[in-house]
Each structure stands twice: as structure tokens, then as C-alpha cells.
Amino acid sequence: MLMSIILFVVAGLLLGLSFQGGLLLFLIPFAGVAAALGYMNLPRVPGGKTASLPVVTRAMRATGIAPAVTPELKNSFDDSAADYNEPGSTLRVNQVWARADADVKKAFGDMLEGLKRVVPNVHTVVVFSPLNSMKEWGIRAYASTDPNAQVATDVKITENSGLISQLFRLDVNRLLEGDLSGGKSLLYYIDNPMIRSLVAVPMLDRSKNRVGALVMDSLYPNAFGHQTAQALTYIASTLYALYFKSFASAKNYIEQQQFSVLYHYQHQFFKNMTVKDIYRQIFEYVKGNIPFDRMMLLALDKQDDNNLHQERVGHVVCCDGIDADQFFGKKFSLSDKGLAILALYHNRPVERTFNQSSFNAYIPRIDNQEKKNMEIRQLFVMPVPSDANTEQAELAICLESRKSDRYTEHEMNLLKAFAGVAGFAYARACQFERGKDLATRDGLTGLINHRTLHENLRTEKIRADRQKYNIGVLMMDIDHFKSVNDTYGHPIGDVVIKGIAGAISGEIRKEIDVVARYGGEEFVVGLIDTTPEGMIETAERIRHAVMKLEFDVHQQDPLRVTVSIGAFLVTPEFHDMKKAVTYADQALYKAKEGGRNQVIQYTELPLEPAPETDDDIPVLTSSLKA
């Protein structure tokens, strides 16, 4: 606020001095610049009423976050193709740039209008700024004394393309023409008026790079002198300062809002306690704040504590954009040679720009089997480590764009800050789930334990009662397991238990059925929505799968084992799930009595009239059948 007041006071003083006439009239543009800078330095609260946003039409749609402002001028909106995702956060990036663009155009227009009025015999004043490169200029703003003047606003000034192009040369600091032979035409006119005089100076940035030009012409010969050329040099410098200040302020505002969104996600992370929620939050943040044509989130799978030397593997847990269906769920190992895997393995960001000459040499993102897209021009991978000092990251965010300059230092720093928060939240969620697993799962097999089984069966029974379907309960036990431990030792016994647990899991529906390690060598399976025939068929498949297992015991022949299985079908009319497990256990006992390695189903018989006894007490009977 203080800076704005000072600038407004300076503007008033300069305007007062200009009323003295003579050369002091040149102070009018500087007064305009001071007033414009004062206005731009007014404090702006997001959503406040200090400044209004211009209406942005669909033709000026967002193309994502604009590149960071460098000392060179930033061009106004182009009409290039948008990225796959339109950042959907509350921050309207296109409107911020539109407001800055409108402010600059208004300030430039006012300054040129002032120059036109105070400098005698001026016909047109034009400001050129870069288009697609620093070697191609176009008209940024102009003012003419002739209301019918036809200025070619789409003109492009390049090297060796007319009089103005001489300003591209480093040894030319100004153009001062007092008698253009025969009224030489200029490229920026459509109707080619008889221009006789011209003065032009380059617009320089802070590194003395030529980033445009300020041009003034006249229909009269010798209309301008050296003093006019010198004054235009100062004004051109002021124009660049105004231009740079406007877009730098817009960039700073955008970055401030982006980090404000990051702060919001920090809070969201700590409300979530599951790994899947962390995946979702990362995906939502990136899609809402950073442009891309393809985004992948890679995650390493949980490492087996019993085999820490095994190579880490993982898969793509999220993918959006180009060929997303080809990459989602794709598995990988840390020995793969893709760029994204490299970032994971070394826990370092990876950035690659693919120019036209390198298009024939596709560099894989994950492995050589992936679908190749030759339109991608830039790739940036940010690892998301759970610990900053770890050698390998657990997650990686891979962004790809069809634009070769999409990811600047700003986007990289923004994603780096986000990755630090996301990594901490991910480690916290993993630790929470690990602790939960210790309480609910068997440490050897990874199956749910005895207590969790009964909780899950009760939950499934409530659902089954609503939808009127059966639940099959299988209780199984490893035959002669005591002799396995006695003969080969407990380590081999553990290997057998893990092998059988894997065989059982391979024969059921992983996302539907329930399997638990019930005791030492006992397992229980809950078959959801099954039939009597389906229950027995699954039990037989499990029995045969176990029979096929072979365990290396360092002898001539491998060890083979079998299981006995008891089955009980829970119909909608049956409600006691603990009793269901008991009945399956009784059927298992009958299977062992009958010779082992078989399936026995428990079936309740209806009540029958019992023979009368002296006490006249009825007897309930049940049968077990193969």
C-alpha cells in the first residue's frame, strides 16, 4: 500500500511539471507509467473487489499453467492445443494471465496515446514484442492520429524483413529516418500511407536482449530529431519495466495460490489413514494443479519381510491421459530400464526433453514392451520417498507433455514440495496398515487370523440375509503335519504351511471369498454366494491343488502332503456362524477318521420321532456324509 501511495504522488508531480510546456511535456508518459505501477501495486485479495477479471471467452481457454516469467517478455495468449487435463483447481490460471494481459494493453495504449498527443506531427506509434521466438516480433499495441489508418496487427517482423528488422542487429541502437525516399512503405501498414519520417528504438530487457521495439512515424519529412530518439529510448525501457512487472506479479500470484492449494492437501493427507486414499489424493492434486498429457503414479509393492533380498516389484496404480489403458496396472521390477523406474531406483528426479532429431530413438518409461508414443516432447518424474535419506523411493509421479518446455523450474519445485508431504503421509498410512495387519493377519501366511475370520463371517452373513444367498464354510487340516515337523523340522513345516496357504488362495475368488489361518495347521474358507455343488467343487479343487505341491527337503524325493476338509453350507435360514464353523470342524474330524485326504459335508437331519424312554426325552440326531 505504501509503494502505491508513493507512485501515485510521483505521478502527480510529473503531471504537474508537464504543464510547464516545452520538453517537460515528455513527462506525461512517465506520469502515466507511475500511475499504472501504483495501481498494479495495490493489494489484491483473492476474490476481492480491488480489480475485476475480464470476461474470458472459450477462444481464450486455459492451456494450463503458463511458463515461469523470465527476463524476456511473456507473450499474450496463444491458441495452441490444450493439454490432456485442464487443471481444475479453484485457481483460474487463464483469468489471472488475462487480467495481466488486459492491464498491460491498457497501460501501453494510454502511453502511446499520450506520446501521439505531445509529439508534433506524429502519424502512428507502435510497440512490437516477441511472438513465437525472440527473432519474430508482432504488434503489441499502437495509436494513430488517423482514425482510418489500416494497421496490419498480424504482421510478423523477422530478420531481413524490412526497415524495422534492422533493430535485430546488435550494432543498431536506433533508427532515425527524415526523408524516406518516395514515401517508402512499411510492413505494418495495409494501405501503405506515404510515411516520410521514422524513429525507432529497440526494447531491451535487463540482460540487454532485444525483446521488441518502439516505433514512431510521420507523414512529414524530418519530423523527428536526436532528442526524440533519446526520449523514446527511455520510454521503451519504462515500457519493458511495466510489462515485466505486470507478468511477474501474475506469476507470483499464481505460485502463491498453488502453494496455498498444497497447504490444503497437507491437511487432507493427515485425515487419510489408508494407502489407497493417499494414491487418490496424489492423483487429484496433480490433475487439478499441473498440466500433463499423461500422468502415471508408480508404486512398489509391499516387501516380503521373510525375503528381504528379493528384487522389489511394483505396478502403475494410477494413470490418466494418452494411452492410459495401456499403462494402468502395468507391472514392473527395479531391474527394468525405463526412465520412471530409474527415478524410483535412485530416488532422484528425472527430466528429459525429446527433440525432433531423437524421435526415432524412443526411450521407455517403464520397459520395452510398453506402447510407444512419439508425440511426447517432455518427461518429468518426481520420486516420492517415504524417507528423504532412503536409497529408493516407494512412489514416483511421472508427467509427460507434448510440449517441450511444459515443465519449468517452478513446476518442478512445486511437485518436489508436494512429494515431500505425500511421502510422509504415505509412510504414515503404510505404518498404520502394517499395524492393522499385525492385529488382523497371520504373520507367516498373510491370511486373516481366527478373530478376524469370525468378524468377516458375521459381516458376510448380514449381507447374505439381505440378498438371500448361501455361504459355504470349509474347515481343513494338513494330514500328518506333526510327523512333518518331527521329521524335517519346524522351518520346513513353515514352508509347507505357506505353500498350502498359497494353494488355497489360488483356488478361491480373492476379492469375494474369505480365507483364514485358523490355527497351527488348520485353515478356514468362507465361500460367498455359493451352492452345495459349488462348495464341494471348490473344496475338491483345493484338495487336488495341495496334492500337486512339492516341497524340497534336500532329499531324493520331494515332500508331498494332503489335507482333509470338512464342509458346511449356511443357508439363509441358518444364523449362527460360530456354530457353522463348529459343524465344519466336526465334518473335518469325520474326514480324518475316514482315512484323510477327502471332503466330508455336514448335513443336519430333520427331527424324527424318538423312541419313548422312561424319562420321555426326545433325541435330535444328525449325520455326516461324504
Per-residue model confidence (pLDDT) at position 420: 82
Please say whether the beta carbons of 369 and 420 come within 8 A.
Answer: no
**Structural element, H or E, at residue 586:** helix 577-593
For the record, the C-alpha cell of 17 comes out as: 511539471
Average pLDDT of the chain to the nearest whole number: 79
Least confident of 512-521, 562-571, 608-617: 608-617
Cα gap 584→167, rounded to integer Å? 93
**Which amino acid, 480?**
H
Per-residue model confidence (pLDDT) at position 450: 87
**Does residue 88 have a pLDDT over 80?**
no
Cα gap 337→359, rounded to integer Å? 18
Q: Checking DSSP bridges between strand 599-604 and strand 563-570, what pairing results, if any?
A: parallel
- What is the torsional sign of CA 182, 186, 192, 196? negative
Per-residue model confidence (pLDDT) at position 322: 93
| DSSP symbols for 49-84 | SSSPPPP--GGG---SSPPPP-SSPPP----PPPPS
What count of other Cβ atoms lies within 10 Å of the Cβ of residue 341? Answer: 24
What is the average pLDDT across 160-181? Answer: 88
Please say whether the beta carbons of 60 and 23 come within 8 A.
Answer: no
More confidently predicted of 3 and 56: 3
For the record, the C-alpha cell of 396 comes out as: 514416483
**Does residue 391 have a pLDDT over 90?**
no
**Does residue 310 have a pLDDT over 80?**
no
Per-residue model confidence (pLDDT) at position 92: 56
For the record, the C-alpha cell of 178 comes out as: 527524415
Please say whether the beta carbons of 598 and 479 come within 8 A.
Answer: no
pLDDT tens string 242-261: 888 877 777 777 666 666 66
Q: What is the reported pTM?
A: 0.47
Least confident of 94-103, 319-328, 391-400, 587-596: 94-103
Please say whether the beta carbons of 610 and 619 come within 8 A.
Answer: yes
Per-residue model confidence (pLDDT) at position 258: 64
pLDDT tens string 19-64: 565 555 556 666 666 665 555 555 443 333 333 323 223 333 223 3
Q: Could you tell me where the DSSP H helices lie in 381-489?
A: 409-440, 450-467, 481-488
**Structural element, H or E, at residue 187:** none
